[in-house]
């Protein structure tokens, strides 16, 4: 029995040896047969012509490939490769895993070409069906599994040693193109160093890059530097410009309590950004640094509050959480810190009115945002900047207290100056606040900003409602502006709707209100004298004459409410009337709302509020000429 077992075992060993020897002898034939079968499947499924001149094993673990090309049917060549050799992990290969240890590659060219609506790479985005592909579909996997999959691929396929020469990547869309050329890319014991040449249009850039990709320690670090480095592609794609002198990124993959965590740091020097939605000027952010602790959960990405942002002299700890499909939670809590850290860190080009401002004292700040695009009305928002013995030592480029005295105001239309006049007694159309009838004052306040004399420049609920409305409209549709914010926008800032203007507007409003740079009474007086009330009509005195041919002291209750109602859209005043010059019935709701608010304040009686009559609004001034028997809509010019 023992002899039989010995003979049987020996026979099996011989068979295994013969089988292994056969596989070894015919390995290249088997490799090419399997490769050709797989290529045929890929060609049929994606409409490609895949060709290679040579593919063979050299020794136990080196795979050599030569003369590879991939050409989509009827389109430009996508990929060509002159030669490549890969040293593979032998034991991992036996397990069915591909682990690249060394790679030597020459003459790889990848070209992404799109002409009109036809691209040579659109097959990459076709949906895949079938058992094998469905089994490998990770699109519904959690964030953690998808990130883990990507990192596993990067660490497994990128070699610890290698040399790549003459690498080219090109992207062309119609007549626009960008290309990357890498003369030589060397990897030595996980560390790499290379020179990159980018060409976009007439601009050529030379980048120096170095770093490390260490699969054993699950660590990645990348450094890029060049003088005034301009990030390619995004200007054509997004209409933006991003440049910097040096960028560094490093992170390590970890597991904490069973959770995937990416911890690392990113630094940038000389960062400058331009996009018209941000600011009309180039924003110079100078130096920035982020120490991050990113938790990757199945259904959320979370930037832990242990993360630190350093921006010039300012430092804070943000918290961010993103949940699918588009639910963002963010918060910042920064306890007492020197005010100069904030104002000394403001980016050049983003806060031009505040450049050079000198301050003293301390500040503290709290911010919170909870926004879900699937349910915009549920949005929660608060932002609270609190002063502690704060004071302004010296203004920068702009005197923020100029509204306290007579100053020269310039009105703009389509970003062009159309009229300049002094806001004070030297202007013959100036109307002091004590000459404005109480009905008119209260009509404007209850229509525009009922809490103006009580708040400090902001109405948080109005801002929250405006943000929710903008999310639904997917644009800047409503501003939630107070009278203070409207004043700052008109007196100090341009009229463009962009993020930079809103940020600068908020900070200037805070400075004026917190430091009482201009009294509330004077601010309201300025507002009533510079507000646009029609085509080239500025100030209440001109408005009452233009619409009703009378002085403000002679205005009726209905006329006051009407004038207050057109402040948001003064150039569209004609839309409130029918062809015969009578107010449309859809205006009644607003008139009654304002009247009831005025009654609640004790300015008018409840009987007067209920007795509001739209027919009493008759355009007896120059504005009435817009409504003639010929239904002419030609806008008259004011005769002042």
Residue closest to 618 by CA, chosen among 582, 590, 589: 582
Q: What is the pLDDT of residue 129?
A: 46
Task: Count Cβ atoms below 10 Å from residue 530 Cβ, excluding itself.
Answer: 19
pLDDT tens per residue, range 464-488: 888 887 777 776 655 568 999 999 9
- pLDDT of 406 reads 97
Question: 3-state class of 570 per DSSP?
Answer: helix
Q: Are 371 and 415 in contact (CB under 8 A)?
A: no
Q: What does the alpha-carbon distance between residue 54 and residue 33 come to, in Å, rounded to a whole number?
A: 12
Which neighbouring-strand residues pair with 370? 329, 380
Beta bridge partners of 241: 274
Instruction: Give the model's pLDDT for residue 624.
Output: 85
Burial of 306 (0-12, 13-18, 19+ CB in 10 A): exposed
Query: What is the rounded CA–CA span in Å between residue 131 and residue 67?
Result: 32
Residues whose CB falls within 8 Å of the CB of residue 492, separated by 6 or more in sequence, listed in order: 353, 398, 400, 505, 508
The pLDDT score that the predictor gives to residue 394 is: 95
In this structure, which long-range contacts are made by residues 380-384, counting pairs with CB atoms below 8 Å and at least 24 apart in sequence? 380/464, 381/460, 381/463, 381/464, 381/467, 382/460, 383/460
pLDDT of 176: 84
**Is residue 261 within 8 Å of residue 282, measured between CB atoms?**
no
HEC secondary structure over 356-396: CCEEEEEEEEEEEEEEECCCHHHCEEEEEEEEEEEEEEECC
| Structure confidence at residue 510 (pLDDT) | 96
Low-confidence ranges of the chain (pLDDT < 50): 14, 18-23, 92, 94-96, 128-139, 629-640
pTM for the predicted model, two decimal places: 0.79
């Amino acid at each position: 029995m023992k002899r039989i077992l010995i003979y049987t075992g020996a026979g099996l060993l011989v068979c295994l040896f013969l089988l292994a020897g056969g596989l070894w002898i015919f390995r290249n034939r088997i490799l090419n047969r399997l490769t050709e079968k797989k290529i045929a499947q890929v060609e049929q499924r994606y409409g490609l012509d895949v060709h290679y001149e040579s593919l063979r094993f050299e020794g136990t673990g080196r795979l050599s490939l030569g003369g590879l090309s991939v050409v989509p049917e009827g389109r430009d060549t996508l990929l060509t490769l002159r030669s490549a050799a890969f040293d593979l992990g032998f034991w991992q290969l036996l397990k069915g895993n591909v682990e690249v240890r060394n790679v030597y590659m020459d003459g790889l060219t990848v070209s992404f070409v799109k002409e009109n609506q036809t691209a040579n790479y659109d097959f990459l985005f076709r949906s895949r069906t079938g058992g094998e592909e469905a089994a490998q579909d990770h699109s519904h996997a959690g964030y953690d599994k998808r990130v883990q999959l990507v990192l596993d691929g990067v660490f497994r396929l990128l070699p610890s040693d290698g040399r790549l020469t003459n690498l080219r990547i090109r992207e062309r869309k119609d007549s626009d193109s960008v290309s990357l050329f890498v003369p030589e890319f060397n990897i030595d014991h996980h560390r790499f160093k290379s020179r990159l040449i980018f060409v976009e249009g007439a601009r050529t850039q030379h980048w120096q890059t170095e770093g490390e990709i260490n699969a054993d320690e699950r660590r990645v670090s990348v450094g890029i530097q060049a003088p005034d480095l301009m990030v390619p592609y995004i200007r054509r794609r997004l209409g933006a410009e991003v440049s910097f002198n040096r960028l560094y990124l490093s992170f390590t993959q970890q597991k904490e309590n069973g959770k995937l965590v990416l911890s690392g740091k990113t630094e940038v020097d000389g960062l400058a950004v331009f996009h018209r939605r941000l600011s009309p000027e180039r924003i110079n952010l100078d130096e920035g640094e982020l120490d991050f602790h990113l938790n990757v959960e199945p259904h959320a990405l979370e930037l832990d509050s242990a993360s630190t942002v350093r921006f010039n002299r300012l430092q804070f700890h943000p918290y961010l959480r993103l949940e699918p499909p588009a639910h963002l939670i963010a918060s910042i809590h920064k306890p007492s810190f020197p005010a100069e850290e904030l104002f000394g860190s403001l980016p050049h080009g983003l806060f031009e009115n505040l450049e050079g401002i000198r301050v003293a004292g301390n500040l503290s700040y709290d911010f919170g945002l909870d926004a879900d695009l699937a349910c915009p009305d549920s949005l929660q928002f608060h932002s609270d900047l609190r002063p502690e013995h704060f004071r302004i030592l010296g203004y920068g480029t702009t005197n923020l207290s100029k509204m306290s005295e007579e100053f020269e105001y310039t009105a703009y239309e389509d970003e062009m100056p159309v009229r300049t006049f002094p806001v004070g007694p030297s202007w013959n159309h100036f109307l002091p606040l004590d000459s404005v009838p109480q009905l008119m004052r209260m009509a404007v306040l209850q229509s525009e900003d009922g809490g103006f004399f009580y708040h400090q420049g902001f109405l948080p609920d109005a801002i929250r409602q405006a943000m929710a409305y903008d999310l639904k409209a997917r644009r800047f549709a409503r501003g939630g502006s107070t009278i203070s914010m409207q004043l700052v926008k008109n007196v100090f800032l341009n009229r463009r709707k962009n993020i930079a203007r809103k940020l600068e507007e908020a900070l200037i409003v805070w400075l004026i209100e917190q430091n009482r740079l201009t009294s509330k009474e004077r601010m309201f007086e300025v507002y009533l004298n510079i507000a646009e009330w029609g085509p080239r009509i500025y100030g209440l005195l001109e408005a009452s004459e233009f619409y009703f041919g009378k002085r403000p002291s002679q205005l009726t209750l209905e006329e006051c409410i009407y004038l207050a109602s057109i402040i948001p859209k003064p150039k569209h005043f004609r839309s409130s009337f029918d062809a015969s010059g009578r107010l449309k019935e859809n205006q009644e709701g607003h008139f009654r709302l304002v009247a009831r608010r005025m009654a609640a304040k004790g300015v008018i009686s409840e009987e007067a509020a209920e007795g509001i009559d739209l027919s009493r609004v008759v355009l007896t001034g120059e504005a009435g000429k817009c409504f003639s028997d010929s239904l002419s809509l030609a806008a008259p010019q004011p005769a002042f």
